[in-house]
Amino acid sequence: MGSKPLPPELFDAVQRHWGFASLRPLQEHAIRAVLNRRDSLVVLPTGGGKSLCFQAPAVVQGGLTIVVSPLIALMKDQVDGLTRIGVPAARLDSTLTAAERAATFEGIRTGTTRLVFTSPERLVNTEIFRLLQSANTHTIAVDEAHCVSHWGHDFRPEYRQLARMREFFPKASVHAYTATATEQVRRDIIQQLNLRQPEIHVGSFDRPNLTFRVLPRVEMHAQVREVIDRHPGDAGIVYCLRKKDVDEMCAALKAAGYRAVPYHAGMENAARRATQDAFAAEEADVVVATVAFGMGIDRSNVRFVIHAAMPKTIEHYQQETGRAGRDGLESECVLFYSGQDFLSLKWMIEKSGEEGGASAEYVATSVKHLEEMARYCRGAVCRHKALVQHFGQTYDSPNCGACDICLGDTQEVPDAMTVAKKILSCVARLKESFGTAHVIEVLRGADTAAIRSRSHHQLTTYGLLKNVPKNDLRDWIYQLIGQGALVQSGDEYPVLKLNTTSWDVMSGRSTIRLIQLARRAKRSADGGKAQPFALPPGADAALFEMLRQLRRQEASRAGVQPYQVFTDAVLAEMARGRPTNEDTLKRISGVGEYRAQQFGRVFLKAIVAHCLRTGLEENVPLPKVTPGSRAALGPTTVAKPSAKKELAFKLFRSGASVEYVAKEAELAASTVTEYLAEFVRTQKPPSIFAWVSEDVCERVAAAAEIHGVARLKPVYEELNGEVNYDAIRIVFAYLDTRAA
Ligand code: ADP
Ligand code: ZN
CA 405 – ligand 2 centroid, Å: 6
Q: Torsion-angle region of residue 268: left (phi > 0), alpha (psi -120 to 50) or beta?
A: beta
> What is the CATH number assigned to the segment(s) 414-511?
1.10.10.10
**Domain at 8-202, CATH homologous superfamily:** P-loop containing nucleotide triphosphate hydrolases (3.40.50.300)
Are 596 and 585 in contact by the 8 Å Cβ rule? The answer is yes
pLDDT along the chain (740 residues), means of 10: 80 95 92 97 91 97 94 85 94 92 94 95 85 93 92 81 90 94 87 95 92 89 93 93 94 96 92 91 93 76 96 91 91 90 87 80 88 84 90 86 84 87 96 93 94 94 91 83 81 85 94 72 38 70 91 88 89 93 92 92 93 89 54 31 76 81 79 85 82 83 78 80 84 77
Q: What element of type H or E holds 438?
A: helix 436-443
Q: Which CATH number fits domain 541-629: 3.20.20.70, 1.10.150.80, 1.25.40.80, 1.20.1740.10?
A: 1.10.150.80
Supply the DSSP symbol for 660.
Answer: H
pLDDT of residue 25: 84
Cα(123)–Cα(161) distance, integer angstroms: 9
What kind of fold does domain 210-411 have according to CATH?
Answer: Rossmann fold (3.40.50)
DSSP string, 303-350: EEEEESS--S-HHHHHHHHTTTTTTSS-EEEEEEE-HHHHHHHHHHHH
Determine the atom of ligand 1 nearest the C-alpha atom of 24: 23
Ligand 1, atom 23, lies closest to the CA of: 23
- Pick the ligand that lies closest to the CA of residue 211: 2
Determine the atom of ligand 1 nearest the C-alpha atom of 48: 3
Cα(190)–Cα(363) distance, integer angstroms: 27
Determine the atom of ligand 1 nearest the C-alpha atom of 322: 4
Ligand 1 touching residue 44 (CB < 6 A)? yes
| CA nearest neighbour of 327 among 563, 91, 160 | 563
pLDDT of residue 534: 64
pLDDT of residue 550: 93
Ligand 1 touching residue 47 (CB < 6 A)? yes
Question: Which ranges of 483-540 would DSSP assign to H, the alpha helix?
Answer: 500-506, 519-525
pLDDT of residue 632: 30
Ligand 1, atom 6, lies closest to the CA of: 49
Fold match between domain 8-202 and domain 210-411: yes
Structural Rg of the chain based on CA atoms: 29
pLDDT of residue 492: 64
Q: What element of type H or E holds 176?
A: strand 173-178
Ligand 1 touching residue 81 (CB < 6 A)? no
pLDDT of residue 653: 81
Taking the domains of the chain in order of start, what are their residue ranges?
8-202, 210-411, 414-511, 541-629, 643-739
Ligand 1 touching residue 299 (CB < 6 A)? no
Are 217 and 517 in contact by the 8 Å Cβ rule? The answer is no
DSSP string, 251-304: HHHHHTT--EEEE-TTS-HHHHHHHHHHHHTTS-SEEEE-TT--TT---TTEEE
Determine the atom of ligand 1 nearest the C-alpha atom of 50: 3
| CA nearest neighbour of 440 among 480, 467, 417, 473 | 473
Ligand 1 touching residue 49 (CB < 6 A)? yes
pLDDT of residue 525: 41
CA 346 – ligand 1 centroid, Å: 38
pLDDT of residue 33: 97
Q: What count of other Cβ atoms lies within 10 Å of the Cβ of residue 274?
A: 16
Cα(592)–Cα(439) distance, integer angstroms: 64
| Cα-based distances in Å from 386 to 181, 259, 484 | 14, 34, 21
Cα(687)–Cα(614) distance, integer angstroms: 10
Are 592 and 584 in contact by the 8 Å Cβ rule? The answer is no
Q: Tell which one of 6, 46, 52 to mutate to probe ligand 1, the residue whose CB is within 8 A of the most ligand atoms.
A: 52
Q: What count of other Cβ atoms lies within 10 Å of the Cβ of residue 451?
A: 18
Ligand 1 touching residue 55 (CB < 6 A)? no
pLDDT of residue 304: 96
CA 710 – ligand 1 centroid, Å: 52
CA 391 – ligand 1 centroid, Å: 22
Ligand 1 touching residue 571 (CB < 6 A)? no
Determine the atom of ligand 1 nearest the C-alpha atom of 23: 23
- Phi and psi at residue 210, in whole multiples of 5°? -100, 135
Ligand 1 touching residue 52 (CB < 6 A)? yes
Q: Which residues pair with 286 in a beta bridge?
A: 236, 260
CA 104 – ligand 2 centroid, Å: 49
Are 92 and 122 in contact by the 8 Å Cβ rule? The answer is yes
Q: Tell which one of 51, 82, 143 to mutate to probe ligand 1, the residue whose CB is within 8 A of the most ligand atoms.
A: 51
Kindly give the pairing relationship between strand 410-412 and strand 515-517. antiparallel
Determine the atom of ligand 1 nearest the C-alpha atom of 179: 3
CA 521 – ligand 2 centroid, Å: 15
Cα(289)–Cα(275) distance, integer angstroms: 10
DSSP E strands, 24-144: 40-43, 64-68, 89-92, 115-118, 137-142
CA 489 – ligand 2 centroid, Å: 34
pLDDT of residue 724: 83
| CA nearest neighbour of 62 among 1, 16, 108, 24 | 108
Ligand 1 touching residue 20 (CB < 6 A)? yes
Residues in the chain: 740
- Pick the ligand that lies closest to the CA of residue 18: 1
